[in-house]
Chain A
């Protein structure tokens, strides 16, 4: 794609005997340079990582055998979430009944999602909340921190989510549940080892439920 030499043909005539000096064009063909430029751009677009990874903070409680330091969870406000294989989620409210009748299954998204269950349970706990003198301190703390919603600071104090990932559950599902805690602003939650009875229940339910999509 060289520049066409248009100056050679035609043009005005100089006097006889005067040799025509060839005029060299100063224009350079930039097409290959543009090609190269875009090639490099595509390379850098593909190699660049725009989304910086974020970090999820997790503060662990200290292991303690001293019963005074252990937190008691009220049965009425407890929600236990169990994780199985293939993105299965199970839950029960309060204590697991001996016959396992309150052991229910949920999913990560869509119908019957674990998020709705957490929200409903939280609402339920807040609705049943009775104001006591011990609440004053919690409210005062929240107010001091500049929380605009300080009047509700105490209402969900009985709400505790216990997370029990099974041995076959994935790290991803565990983090998804921890993420749900952040999304639904659950202040009290605990990561607890699954008990044998629960593990057996999860295993049976896992097999009967078949693979679930996330």
Chain B
């Protein structure tokens, strides 16, 4: 008995289906991607079990880098202009209208007030956290963050403001303490700290109460 002859098949595979899948996935990822906004410095946030989403509007963000530098950024451009104008009149920084315009476009602030004017001449591609010394908040006597925050309070008077604090895992506690001291001085008693989500341990009380409310 001889084997029946198999018909010779072409080695070509129809790629159409695969192509369809590939582009379906591609379109999904394109739509789901949200590029991270430019940040002063790269900050590795610690983890927490919290589930509250970080607000995106009306954000006043104070960042603490790993080496303890403090930066401030404001999400809305109008507020930034108002903030700079406020500080300019309060502390007589001597900024011209053109300087204020440059400052409005700055992604963050991270210099002592005395150096703010010179920092504005830094070109955009060198405007990173590494270039600047940070807002002085080392101790309670020379805490310029208090001035910044009091100007922020004046700018946001009567409006909703989301005060966020983003600290690096490795930054030391005293910096954090001085930052919250500056908040307290301006009666900013509620703020949120940005963290990465983490699972709730399963035998903990929070997990049990969470389940109870879910039922």
Contact = CB atoms under 8 A, between A and B. Distances in A.
A133 interface: no
Contact of A60 (B50, B52, B167, B180): B180
Contact of A4 (B10, B19, B50, B183): B10
Contact of A171 (B53, B167, B183, B198): B167
Contacts of B45: 53
Interface in A37-87: 37-38, 40-41, 44-45, 47-63, 83
B194 A171 contact: no
A37 B19 contact: yes
Contacts, number: 173
Interface in B135-180: 164, 167-177, 180
A165 B198 CA distance: 22
A41 B54 contact: no
Contact of B193 (A6, A40, A55, A63): A55
Main SS of the interface on chain B? mixed
Nearest to A62: B189
B121 interface: no
A47 B48 contact: no
Interface in B19-51: 19, 22-23, 25-26, 29-30, 32-36, 45-51
Interface stretch (A7-15, A90-98, A172-180): A172-180
Contacts of A44: 26, 29-30, 32-33
B34 A58 contact: no
Given A49-B36, A174-B176, A55 B192 contact: yes
Contacts of A115: 201, 204
A207 interface: no
A56 B196 CA distance: 10
A54 B46 contact: no
Interface size class, chain B: 35 or more
B40 to A, nearest CB: 16
Contact of A183 (B12, B30, B33, B201): B201
B50 A47 contact: no
Given A41-B25, A170-B173, A175-B195, A55 B46 contact: no
A191 B174 CA distance: 12
B26 A60 contact: no
B173 A167 contact: yes
B63 to A, nearest CB: 11
Interface of B: 10, 12, 15-16, 18-19, 22-23, 25-26, 29-30, 32-36, 45-55, 64, 164, 167-177, 180, 183-184, 187, 189-198, 200-201, 204-207, 209, 212
6 contacts: A34-B22, A54-B53, A171-B46, A173-B173, A183-B49, A184-B206
